[in-house]
Amino acid sequence: MTRRPDAEPPTPEPLTPTTGRVKRLRRLGTRTYRQQRREFLAEGPRAVRESLGRPGTVLEVFATAAAYDRYLAADATPCTVVDDGVIAALSDTVHPQGIVAHCRFVDEPVAEITARSPRLTAICADVRDPGNAGTVIRCADAAGADAVLFGGHSVDPYNAKAVRASVGSIFHVGIGVDADLVRLVADVRAQGVQVLAADGSGSSDLFALDRSGALRRPTAWLFGNEAWGLPDEVRALADDVVSVPIYGRAESLNLATAAAVCLYTSARAQQVH
């Protein structure tokens, strides 16, 4: 449903939270159904705007009349206008922002991503928290990384909280998923990329490694689970295990913060080079 900015507000569609169409979309809140359909929901004005900027991604946009006027009317973006109850049914937040995009999955096979010879990649190994996963995607995008890959038993990157935490960045970087972490890392390494594992007990100092020039090479950073870090078998997949120096009294950095430091340090080294 489209209108010009100077036209009358569109009439809401006769949809309710119990309409079959809405109920089917609500099922995208479950991982199994998302994977079957290869579709997900992106909520909020930033996520919707970024999804619309990626051709072929958006199947439909739903918005309240107020949200349409605020976020979409100026560009006459096609939209299905619904009432607050439908938006609430499609949202997993306490205070929905009135706008949701129904999107196709954006991930690609890992081998296709690595075949493009990425210079900077983040690998999430058994990362379970969707907020952390989405923040890693956002940090990777901000640092200019080419891709974020999810291996092992990592959270689904299309989890609503992960999508929200990425703040639209899921539509900017390459996304790859492979439960076989060994195969995923092998695909990365096959392109001549060094794999560095970030771990607080790592023997190599991040900034010393930077000074040595080692971070100028194409690099994939391997980030482990929030609770138990990197098991020995995962550490063994890396060329080196690297720690971020702690200068104060904090015991450690959380996953997303460590990822931001590592990715930006690599990005700076590659930019200087």
| Domains, in order of start, for the chain | 20-104 (3.30.1330.30), 110-272 (3.40.1280.10)
Tokens of 67: 């949200």
Tokens of 105: 């999955």
Q: For residue 238, what pLDDT band results from cuts at 50, 70 and 90?
A: very high
Q: Give the number of other CB atoms < 10 A from CB of residue 122.
A: 28
pLDDT of 9: 53
What CA–CA distance (Å, rounded) separates 146 from 114?
10
> Residue 178: what residue type?
D
Residue 173 in contact with residue 137, Cβ under 8 Å? yes
**Cα–Cα distances in angstroms (integers) from residue 228 to residues 125, 243, 250, 261, in the given order:** 11, 15, 18, 20
User: Is the confidence at residue 54, as pLDDT, over 80?
Assistant: yes
User: Is the confidence at residue 34, as pLDDT, over 80?
Assistant: yes
Burial of 35 (0-12, 13-18, 19+ CB in 10 A): middle
User: Is the confidence at residue 7, as pLDDT, over 60?
Assistant: no
Q: How many CA atoms lie within 13 A of 189 on its CB side?
A: 13
Q: 77-94, pLDDT tens digit by residue?
A: 899 999 999 999 999 998
Q: For residue 228, what pLDDT band results from cuts at 50, 70 and 90?
A: confident
pLDDT of 251: 87
Q: 228 vs 153, which has greater pLDDT?
A: 153
Residue 195 in contact with residue 185, Cβ under 8 Å? yes
User: Is the confidence at residue 63, as pLDDT, over 80?
Assistant: yes
